Structure 1
Amino acid sequence: MDVLFQGDRTLVSRISTTTGNVIRKEMRGPGRTARRRHEMSILRRLADVERIPQIMVGADEKDAVLLEDSGGVILPELVETGPMRVDDLLAFAEDLSGIVEAIHRHGVIHKDINPNNIVVAGDPARPILIDFDLATTFALERPAFTHVKDIVGTLPYLAPEQTGRTGWAVDQRADLYSLGATLYELATGEPPFGDGDLLQLVHDHLTRVPTPAWERNPQVPPALSRIIGKLLEKEPDNRYQSAVGVLYDLRRLRRALVREEDTNFILGERDFPWRLAAPSHL
């Protein structure tokens, strides 16, 4: 057995069987049976979505989820030497945004998109979004104020509204913020506000504007930096409203770069809310 990840809530390992390798995600701690049932339900809902882990047919354990093994590695292992090459980053960003668009179209919000929840497999390397433990099928949620250590999710990539300190509802746009934080790290080598003190991270998510990605890494096209910046807007209403809008702009940017056309286009021209929602401010 090869341990891939071990934490208070889960143990993820690669195990060998007579038919090949299997990924075993063991739930730990209080509520583990209910959490397993929840994640199985989410994965079944997403069974026809590409680049999502597939449940092993006929496999069943009380407190574990058994998944097909893609043979990949988690994203941080791929980029531990520094930022991703721009050409690779543009393709990767489009792939990852496509996965997010697909799960949203199926009525699922991931709520914890970050590099450790992305497996990279294949040649060329393509993302697989994993770990739907915190995912929800509710259109929106309103997290309560809680101690910083009890905030659910991976804080360096978490949307401001997920901290429970804004009064804003959490909907699919929280995933778009986390997508932006992940792409920011791939572009610059670090999350928007680092990964240090928890209180400082919460403060920064709520109040600080991140340094534009192109200033941290001059190889990043300014238009891509603008797309990432729009994903990282504090107020949900100012962000992209849908992964469809993100995908459109990423594809438009790639075409413009290939054709050596102007990339200073208006962002969000094909971005529309996936549902009617009350504005962040009245």
Structure 2
Amino acid sequence: MMSTLPGYRIIKHLHKGRRSNVSRAIRTQDDAQVIIKQLNANQATSEEIGLFQHEYDLLSTLDVPGVIRPLTQIHTEQSIATVFADSGGVSLRQLLNWESRPWHHWLSLAVALAEQVGRIHKAQIIHKQISPDNIIVDPEHPSEGVQIIDFTQATHLQREQATWNYNQLAEETLPYIAPEQTGRINRAIDYRTDFYGLGATLYELMTGRPPF
């Protein structure tokens, strides 16, 4: 359950995950619409708290079009919450669940996604979690204003060696995780890891199902 934050009024719960919950809210001081990502602090491990803080610190300094910088982070006795401006978009996963379109209708979105990943890489960031759940689009104009979210696993490193990590191997993320991310093959993680997630996402976009 998402705890109440002073100064904000929750209007809709968007996502409930194992580590965090995401809600749409109103900032009461000026009626601005915001998105609140709140950590399930009572159940979170020290590693998960660190990843949550890492995302805030990284995004606070990252200046990339299509990547939303946080407005503030709120610490309470019960939890930690990061507040973002609300673009009014929906996740690509939601859009895929709502409607089915011919594959060629998605081509402009595919180009926009590739360009967005390229901008992130140009900033020397590897995202490592590209999937329909972490892509935000305008439901009326999906190829305009594409945003990529959830930078909890992102890194500044150009290359790294993965280790066995249960959190990365959650069932819902497996179709989009590159083999080197599992730590079970002798391959380093680099920018090409994001290409795997992008390719799996585009495959699902065109066919209606993930490749594996």
- How does the TM-score come out when normalised to structure 1? 0.62
Q: Of 100, 125, 129, which residue of structure 2 is paired with 1:108?
A: 125
Amino acid corresponding to residue 65 of structure 2 in structure 1: E
Structure 1 residues 152 and 64 mapped into 2: Cα distance closer, same or farther (>3 Å)? farther
In the alignment, is residue 34 of structure 1 matched against residue 50 of structure 2? yes
Instruction: State whether residues 92 and 136 of structure 2, in contact with CA within 8 Å, keep that contact through their aligned partners in structure 1.
Output: yes
Q: 1:80 aligns with which of 93, 97, 104?
A: 97
SS in 2 for 1:22: strand
Q: What's the RMSD between the two structures over aligned residues?
A: 1.9
Count how many residue pairs are aligned between Structure 1 and Structure 2: 188
Which of the pair is proportionally richer in strand?
Answer: 2
Matched, 1:20 2:32: yes
Name stretches of at least 5 consecutive residues in structure 2 with no aligned partner.
Answer: 1-9
Kindly indicate whether residue 162 of structure 2 is the aligned counterpart of residue 143 of structure 1: yes
Give, in angstroms, the shift of residue 123 of structure 1. 4.2
Distance (whole Å) between structure 1 residues aligned to residue 164 and residue 17 of structure 2? 24
Q: Which protein has greater RCO, CA pairs closer than 8 Å, 6+ apart?
A: 2
- Runs of 4+ deviating beyond 2 Å: 31-37, 44-47, 81-88, 149-153
- Please show how residues 94-105 of structure 1 align to structure 2 within 5 Å: 94-105=111-122
- Structure 1: distance between partners of 2:167 and 2:125: 23
Provide the residue aligned with 2:87 in structure 1. Answer: 70
Unaligned runs of 5+ in 1: 194-282
Question: CA 1:42 to 1:90, structure 2 compared with 1: closer, same or farther past 3 Å?
Answer: same
Q: Judging changes above 3 Å, is the alpha-carbon distance between structure 1 residues 88 and 35 closer, same or farther for their aligned structure 2 residues?
A: same
Compare CA radii of gyration and give the structure with the larger one: 1
**Aligned mates of 1:81, 1:12 — CA distance in 2:** 20
Q: Secondary structure at the match of 1:12?
A: strand
Q: Is the 8 A contact 1:84 1:186 kept in 2?
A: no
Task: Write the distance in 1 (CA, Å) between the matches of 2:66 and 2:194.
Answer: 17
Query: What percent identity do the matched residue pairs reach?
Result: 38
- Paired with 1:128 and 1:169, the residues of 2 have a C-alpha distance of 27
Letter in 2 for 1:179: L
Aligned partner of 2:110 in structure 1 is 93
